[in-house]
Amino acid sequence: MTVYDIIFYLFALITVGSAFFVVTLRNIVYSAFFLLFTLFGVAGLFVLLSADFIAVVQLVIYVGAILVLLLFGVMLTHNITQVQIKTGTLQIIPSAIAVLILAFSLIKIFLNTNWKTVPLTVQSSSVEGLGVLLLNQYSVVFELIGILLLIALIGAASMARR
């Protein structure tokens, strides 16, 4: 086990562990704070994949903007901190069996697969390559994302309006 592996497992543990608390905790403010660690762990994984730009974007947009907005929303909404979220479990035995079977088969299949791997090359920065790809080969995808965001904006405005 190399240092790389240890760092990977550390970040993976942070991500999965805090994601578990996000869904199980009853207080919405605590959940929001654990979401911070989940998103931070994902950013760490991106760094390990030498995807520096995406890691920074993950930090700035998710950890920075979205989570702060979420917390503001929670604080400004009247009395939402006192609301006890209902976390009743329905059909616990069948769902546990289904989840175990799914998890077991996923792990089994993943371990027996020849994943396509490329040797790790340390690049100075991925921003330039990303930009060239987005504006050349994937230009239509770039435009499509623009329209998707416009639609999301219009949809959100329409839903917020009474």
Partner 1 sequence: MNQIVDSLQYIKPEISAAIFLVVIVIVDLVMGKNKKYLSPIMIIGLLVTGFFIIDQFKFSSFAFMSENNKYGLLSIDSFGSFFKLLIVFSSIIIVFFTISSDEIKKAKERLGEYYTLIWGMILGMFFMIIAADLIVIYLAIELLSLSSYVLAGITKDTLRNSEASLKYVIYGGVSSGIMLFGISILYGITGTTNIYEINGLLQSQQIQGLIVTLSAILIFAGIGFKISVAPFHFWTPDVYEGAPITITAYLSVASKAAGFALLFRFTKITFIDSINADGSWNIISLIDWRSFLIIISILTMTLGNFAALWQNNMKRLLAYSSIAHAGYLLLGLIAFSNEGMMAVMIYFVIYAIMNLGAFFVVMLIANKIGSEELDDYKGLGKTAPVLTVSLGIFMISLIGLPPTAGFIGKLYLFLALINSNMILIAFIALLNTVVSVYYYVRVLKYLFIDSSEKEIAPFGVTIPNLILLLILVIPTLILGVYFTPLVEFAKYSITLLGF
Interacting residue ranges for partner 1, rule: CB under 8 A: 106, 109-110, 112-116, 118, 136-141, 143-145, 147-148, 150-152, 154-155, 157-159
Residue 78 vs 162, nearer CB to partner 1: 162
Report the SS3 class of residue 21: helix
Report the SS3 class of residue 117: coil
Residue 75 vs 103, nearer CB to partner 1: 103
Distance of CA 5 to the CA centre of its chain: 21
Residue 3 vs 90, nearer CB to partner 1: 90
**Main-chain dihedrals φ then ψ at residue 161, nearest 5 degrees:** -75, 140
CB of 78 to partner 1, least distance (A): 20
Residue 75 vs 85, nearer CB to partner 1: 85
CB of 104 to partner 1, least distance (A): 13
Spatial neighbors of 26 by CB under 8 A, at least 6 apart, are 84, 85, 87
CB of 33 to partner 1, least distance (A): 23
Single-letter amino acid, residue 91: Q
- Exposed, middle or buried by CB within 10 Å (0-12, 13-18, 19+), for 41? buried
CB of 47 to partner 1, least distance (A): 19
